[in-house]
């Protein structure tokens, strides 16, 4: 096929369709509330009426949704980082070490301020992109930047936050532990950090 991208179509495959089999649920490190399973389509016949959109436009449709998908990832990473920091600040004011609150130590205060600043700076970037995307502007390059920047930032923030919890932070009964586990996939799905950088480089002519 000379132009394989134009030979792809989107089809709605309904449950119960012969040949469509839902396989085992995959065991993931985190995000256990979101089921991920193997799907197989063997000799699966789908009626023409199940065509989604126009024939041969499937790849185009998928590409058109990359910008909002990556923007959503950036927004989610921002929210997760902010929540992790808020939870950690509260804990640092409650936990005592050597007779005083952890939050009273200079190292703790400096680290919390650094994370707070990172979150606020990236928040401004994300807010701008949300407005520009809503206005119909092409911010494909910028959303790739936001996706990799915010998700990498999230990883660093939850890692540093967990450190303040000490051994408690390694226990799943503490929310920061779950936040740490769930954060790891953020730099992978919807395009890895490396793919985001490659897209940016190509679009900017680097």
Closest by CA position to 144, among listed 116, 125, 157:
125
* 120 is annotated as an active-site residue: no
Q: Which two tokens stand for residue 73?
A: 């990832």
CB 158 within 8 A of CB 174: no
Q: Which two tokens stand for residue 18?
A: 């012969």
Catalytic residue, candidates 55, 69, 173, 198: 69
| Burial group, residue 6, by CB count within 10 angstroms (0-12, 13-18, 19+) | middle
Closest by CA position to 122, among listed 141, 140, 147, 139:
147
Q: Find all residues with CB under 8 Å of 140, minimum gap 6, and list them.
A: 66, 67, 199, 203
Which residues carry out catalysis? 69
């Amino acid at each position: 096929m000379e132009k394989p991208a134009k030979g792809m179509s989107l089809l709605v495959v309904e449950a119960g369709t012969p040949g469509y089999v839902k396989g085992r649920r995959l065991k993931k490190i985190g995000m256990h509330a979101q089921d991920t399973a193997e799907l197989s389509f063997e000799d699966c016949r789908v009626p023409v009426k199940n065509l989604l959109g126009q024939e041969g436009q499937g790849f185009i449709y998928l590409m058109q949704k990359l910008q909002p998908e990556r923007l959503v990832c950036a927004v989610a990473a921002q929210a997760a980082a902010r929540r992790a920091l808020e939870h950690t600040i509260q804990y640092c004011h409650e936990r005592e070490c050597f007779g005083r609150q952890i939050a009273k130590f200079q190292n703790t205060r400096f680290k919390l301020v650094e994370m707070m600043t990172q979150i606020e700076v990236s928040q401004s970037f994300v807010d701008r992109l949300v407005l520009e995307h809503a206005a119909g502007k092409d911010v494909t390059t910028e959303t790739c930047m936001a996706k990799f920047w915010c998700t990498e930032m999230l990883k660093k923030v939850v890692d540093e936050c967990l450190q303040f919890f000490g051994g408690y932070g390694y226990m799943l009964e503490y929310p920061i532990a779950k936040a740490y586990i769930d954060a790891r996939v953020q730099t992978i799905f919807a395009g890895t950090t490396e793919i985001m950088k490659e897209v940016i480089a190509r679009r900017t002519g680097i």
